[in-house]
Amino acid sequence: MSLRQKVGQLFVVRPESLEPAIRYASDAELPPYRLQAVSDGMRARAERYPAGGVLLYGHNIADPAQLERFGAELRALPGAPRLCIDEEGGRVSRIAANPAFDVPRYESAAAIAAGGDPQAAYDAARAIGTYLKRYGLDINFAPVADVNTNPENIIIGARAFSDDPAAAAAMVAAYVRGLADAGIVGCLKHFPGHGDTLADTHLGYAFTDKSWEQMRDCEMVSFRAGIAAGAPLVMAAHIAAPAVTGCDEPATLCPAILTEKLRGELGFEGVVITDALEMGAITRRYGSGEAAVRALEAGADWLLCPLDYCAAFDAVADAVATGRIPEARIDQSLRRIRRVCR
């Protein structure tokens, strides 16, 4: 592959990032566009800025026939992008929230776990994975592996299976296996744990004040269980952990979290993906290009949804060309991506 082809494989983007006619400052601006088909402009941009994956949101999906058609069009773009979605089961479900689809529906992860039987999490994930596979999806950014220990948390809540680490761990492991048995790649999120925070990283800075020892006994219990169950992806959160790292840098951009803790201590060998780089916790402090480069330097493999995809792509290509990021480092990420996201 050429350098630009390699760089493109490091990104998972919104369909709108490939559409030259759309510029946006916030994801809230995108639903009215109802981008649900590939345009000539998207094909032209993808020639210069190919992407390794495309993440579909609810407003990109109308009905089963449209989703299958759109998926085929996206796969035919340069880079042959993998198709990704957030379909957790509960309020974050892009297909199940659409009445045009006849699929199983779940109240929440917490409701799935309420009976205490991990088989329920397996069955839900197997069912979700089965319909995702039927509609041509490859990767599901689920399960939520956070432990919901802060009742005032405004972003996780019932998206987590439990406020008990051991209970959450059993459910997370079962969910990972259920997706895998349906032929869908799953993803643990949001490392190192979003369940004890107060703020929403979609809007700005969020942090946990826990030490690593405290996190080992809580958040890491479910992440370790998911990794042991074979989770191929882990999504990094934009939360800071100053008691662990000594700084206020978000985990997504922090080598101490991604390289030292996730890869080193937890032994994770799969793909590390960032949370969406268009979120306020990133964009209020960093430009799209610098955030993408810093995430790779920290140990991420896949860069999710930068606000300005072209700027992020060019910055990574420039960083490799100038030696700031060795091409061997890019090749390492590409090997991981190919291994777990065939």
Asked if 60 and 27 touch (Cβ cutoff 8 Å), the reply is no
Active site (annotated) includes residue 209: no
Where does residue 14 fall: left (phi above 0), alpha (psi -120 to 50 degrees), or beta otherwise?
A: beta
Cα-Cα-Cα-Cα torsion 237, 243, 246, 248, nearest 10 degrees, comes to 40
Asked if 291 and 258 touch (Cβ cutoff 8 Å), the reply is no
Q: What does the alpha-carbon distance between residue 164 and residue 218 come to, in Å, rounded to a whole number?
A: 8
Residue 34 is encoded by which pair of tokens?
A: 């109802």
CA-to-CA separations, 160 to 16, 31, 217, in angstroms, rounded: 29, 26, 17
CA-to-CA separations, 312 to 47, 75, 81, 149, 320, in angstroms, rounded: 16, 22, 17, 35, 13
185 DSSP assignment: B
User: Which one of 27, 200, 202, 318 is the catalytic residue?
Assistant: 202
Active site (annotated) includes residue 194: no
- For residue 119, the Cα-to-chain-centroid distance in whole angstroms is 25
Angle formed at CA 70 by CA 302 and CA 74, multiple of 5 degrees: 40
Which H or E run contains 272?
A: strand 271-274
User: Which one of 138, 275, 301, 308 is the catalytic residue?
Assistant: 275
Q: Classify strands 82-85 and 139-140 as parallel, antiparallel or unpaired.
A: parallel
The residues annotated with a catalytic role in the active site are 202, 275
